[in-house]
């Protein structure tokens, strides 16, 4: 969104401000739920590290990573401050680490599904009063923003889930990959975490990585809308 503005997009400044006001609460809420999901599952599996450090909270201030937050706004793909997990507290460290890691992206997919449902319900209601809505310019504008908010919520949560499932450190996908990779390979890759992050930022800025991620995200999002529209109420 902002990359287009920074590179000289011709859109109205008002549109970008409105988009920002819609995106900010979605990003803050989604990143917070993502990290809380990690900590909650870890706690259920025996590791209370995140809980003891006060990370099982819905306060965004406890979870935000400045660079990850900026990337989420700029590119639609980002991350939060990782919840600390001590695998020594797990009965089955490899399996439980993977489950704790997967909890974040799964929570975002569930949030995306919730946003899709809210969009479809709101859209169905709006269609019942379409004449009144079109007759009132302010009401039409309000309803349009309302529906756009739900669409953006679904889209951003799918993007967040897909991005964090990349099998590279420090993302959740790397912890899931730990189950399948030999420990020697896994920790060998982890040594290059800083360099991988720098390369990732370059790939995001140049758009090389955003294209394949966008394709995958779009397919998943279409799938969610398809599933919801199978419900008779929306058919």
Catalytic residue among 35, 131, 193, 229: 35
End-to-end CA, the chain: 32
Q: What is the largest CA-CA distance in the chain?
A: 66
Alpha-carbon distance of 105 to 165, in angstroms, equals 7
Two tokens, residue 195? 């360099």
CB 75 within 8 A of CB 63: no
Alpha-carbon distance of 165 to 160, in angstroms, equals 9
CB 106 within 8 A of CB 123: no
Alpha-carbon distance of 217 to 191, in angstroms, equals 29
> Which run of H or of E encompasses 13?
helix 13-44
Instruction: Note if 35 is an active site residue.
Output: yes
Residue bearing tokens 């819609």: 22
Q: Give residue 93's region: left, alpha or beta (phi > 0; psi -120 to 50).
A: alpha
Residues designated as active site: 35
């Amino acid at each position: 969104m902002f990359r287009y503005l920074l590179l000289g997009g011709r859109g109205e400044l008002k549109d970008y401000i409105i988009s920002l006001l819609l995106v900010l609460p979605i990003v803050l809420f989604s990143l917070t739920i993502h990290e809380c999901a990690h900590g909650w599952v870890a706690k259920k599996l025996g590791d209370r590290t995140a809980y003891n450090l006060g990370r099982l909270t819905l306060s965004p201030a406890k979870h935000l990573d400045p660079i990850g937050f900026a990337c989420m706004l700029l590119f639609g793909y980002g991350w939060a401050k990782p919840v600390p997990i001590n695998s020594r507290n797990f009965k089955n460290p490899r399996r439980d680490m993977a489950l704790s890691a997967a909890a974040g992206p799964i929570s975002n997919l569930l949030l995306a599904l919730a946003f899709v449902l809210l969009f479809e319900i709101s859209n169905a209601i709006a269609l019942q009063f379409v004449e009144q809505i079109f007759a009132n310019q302010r009401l039409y504008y309000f309803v349009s923003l309302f529906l756009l908010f739900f669409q953006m919520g679904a889209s951003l949560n799918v993007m967040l889930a897909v991005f964090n499932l990349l099998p590279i450190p420090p993302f959740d996908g790397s912890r899931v990959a730990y189950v399948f990779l030999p420990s020697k390979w896994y920790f060998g890759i982890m040594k290059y975490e800083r360099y991988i992050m720098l390369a990732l930022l370059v790939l995001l800025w140049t758009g090389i990585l955003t294209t394949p991620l966008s394709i995958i995200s779009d397919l998943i999002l279409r799938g969610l809308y398809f599933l919801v529209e199978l419900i008779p109420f929306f058919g």
